[in-house]
Chains A and B, each alone.
Chain A
Amino acid sequence: MGNLLEIKNLSIEYVTDERTNKAVNNLNLKIREGETLGFVGETGAGKTTTALGIMRLVPSPPGRIVSGEIIFEGENLLEKTEKEMREIRGNKISMIFQDPMTSLNPIMTVGEQIEEVIKLHEDLPKDELRKRAEAMLETVGIRKERFDDYPHEFSGGMKQRVVIAMGLACNPKLIIADEPTTALDVTIQAQVLELMKELKVKFNTSMLLITHDLGVVAETCDYVAIMYAGSVLEYGNVERIYNNPLHPYTVGLFNSIPSLDEDKDKLDVIPGTPPDPANLPTGCKFHPRCSKCMEICKQKMPEPIEVEEGHYVSCFLYDKDVKEGR
């Protein structure tokens, strides 16, 4: 399987007069064809900014892509003109947003909104357009009689289905789903995740699933990237990472979630708070909160190390040179 998307050394910052927020720092990432990558991190880790960067939708000003490459199907998206990007957006890469309540236009019927997406990229006669849109609605499990209903007549879960239908309408190569189920209830979330898994296979698309919920990743993703302060700290196959987390942050993250099948009096805690993106620590961004911090961590940012096949960790604990040097 070839790489569908590869991000190399991407840095994005938001510059205002008072401060410069380094939202994404030297980020490296790849998604193969047909694969689902889970993108995990806390608020402010730069997950959404990365996604907007791929779509070239970082609000500017204040946002600015400082450096890096985003290679999609062999071409660097950062070198595309705005017109070329418009061709790609919605057609080859589409995005599903977190909040289905606000990502639909309240004064258009859901059918029209799906038609709109198709119309932008394909020239179809009116009746065929409607047929395609109706088919999309049925695909996501909504009766086509509801074509002429307005968003407010749908429940949250149903709205998210409409949003997914819009995302899939042009049969994209890549779907970026930004916390698609966070606003939904658990039972509805289960329905929507199930649907997304099915459709991904059916349409053979790759997916970048942004979430903060490690449970959702375990159920839907093949690979996972753990984000912290704008960089990927650990990347690899879901099974490897879940069974053998290596980076102290990943370990801490797993231990701090209350578990359903174990009884613990106290939760393990990662001390401190995530760093201020305008004032990032030197060296490894995680070192002020890390229990295994070494001298070198304060000075140098560790490079990703491949500890086992396809499992990368950015941490000096796994750097042979550092270990031998001690």
Chain B
Amino acid sequence: MAEANAIAKGKKENKSNSQLMGVWIRLKKNRLAIFGLVILILLILMAIFADILAPYGYDEQNLQNTFQTPNLEHPFGTDEFGRDILSRIIYGSRISLQVGIIAVGIAVIIGGFLGAVAGYFSGKVDNIIMRCMDVLLSIPQMLLAISIVAALGNSLANLMIAVGVSSIPQYARIVRASVISIKNQEFVESAKATGSNDLRIIFKHVIPNCLAPVIVQATLGIGLAILTAAGLSFIGLGIKPPTPEWGAMLSGGRMYIRDYPHLTLFPGIAIVVTIFAFNVLGDGLRDALDPKLKQ
């Protein structure tokens, strides 16, 4: 009760941010989501301060110390070139997070724009855009990503483009659906009555109101993008050595999996933990942003 009072008080003081506050209050109650958030913050800090945190350079070879099992000097052991696995995972978080966030960014921006246009104008425009999306959607995402990388060539940028483009249709569909429901609400008509043009209505009134489902899908999508990138690296279409990327490390270690499982185990754990963190945060955000739970 006292806590409720305190929250109510806090709410009053922060009137201007009350909507965000409300989301935060509801999110805070979901322990798992907060746990995910904490992991994510740690991961991001790890990526930023990789230079300081990593005990060794990611490409520092030591051929005398290959295949060491975890020990004090190398907590996660070393790989076939004697490189410290912990350091490579720490540096690898840079690439993986970057791929995840930028790839999803590409998908959200392009997909969101196409979806918004399709939903707002409907009719022919809608039909053309959405049928193109359907074509993309009919190709399995992994296959599509493989063909894009294969066509463009191996590089970090191409990897991100491949992963991003292959998930555009999902975002286009989500945004289109919510735009259609929002554009029929009276406040859009009210904006028209004041003389607003279409562009202003889309950006000021429609898009801000369909952000919630997109944010949720994006957090879930980042996990998926990391996984897709890891998968591409695993089959040799992703990052080139010696740049450390978790999927590529997994792929490199698979030859030694019987004798030295730690080569695959630790990057595997890193991927699992990151995706887990994004997924629980995404789930939590979905609940927190759900307007039905308001009051």
Contact = CB atoms under 8 A, between A and B. Distances in A.
Direct contact of A and B (CB under 8 A): yes
Interface of A: 16-20
Nearest to B1: A20
Contacts of A19: 4, 8, 295
- Decide if the interface of chain B is mainly helix, strand, loop or mixed: helix
A16 B29 contact: no
Contacts of B4: 17-20
B235 interface: no
A280 to B, nearest CB: 14
A42 B295 CA distance: 19
Contacts of B7: 18
Interface residues of B, number: 6
12 contacts: A16-B295, A17-B4, A17-B29, A18-B4, A18-B7, A18-B8, A18-B25, A18-B295, A19-B4, A19-B8, A19-B295, A20-B4
A20 B3 CA distance: 13
B155 to A, nearest CB: 49
A19 B25 CA distance: 13
A187 to B, nearest CB: 27
A126 to B, nearest CB: 41
Contacts of A16: 295
A9 to B, nearest CB: 23
Contacts, number: 12
A16 B8 CA distance: 13
Given A17-B29, A18-B7, A18-B25, 9 more contacts: A16-B295, A17-B4, A18-B4, A18-B8, A18-B295, A19-B4, A19-B8, A19-B295, A20-B4
Interface of B: 4, 7-8, 25, 29, 295
A16 B29 CA distance: 12
A140 to B, nearest CB: 34
B184 to A, nearest CB: 18
Contacts of B25: 18
Nearest to B294: A18
Nearest to B7: A18
A18 B25 CA distance: 9
A20 B25 CA distance: 16
A326 to B, nearest CB: 36
Contacts of B29: 17
A84 B103 CA distance: 58
B175 to A, nearest CB: 28
Most B C-beta atoms less than 10 A away, residue of A16, A18, A19, A20: A18
A127 B257 CA distance: 71
3 closest residue pairs by CB, A with B: A18-B4, A17-B29, A19-B4
B108 to A, nearest CB: 31
A300 B8 CA distance: 26
A223 to B, nearest CB: 34
A20 B295 CA distance: 10
A17 B8 CA distance: 11
Contacts of A17: 4, 29
Contacts of A20: 4
Nearest to A21: B295
A17 B7 CA distance: 10
A243 B7 CA distance: 47
Nearest to B293: A16
B109 to A, nearest CB: 35
A44 to B, nearest CB: 12
B288 to A, nearest CB: 12
A18 B9 CA distance: 12
Most A C-beta atoms less than 10 A away, residue of B7, B25, B29, B295: B295
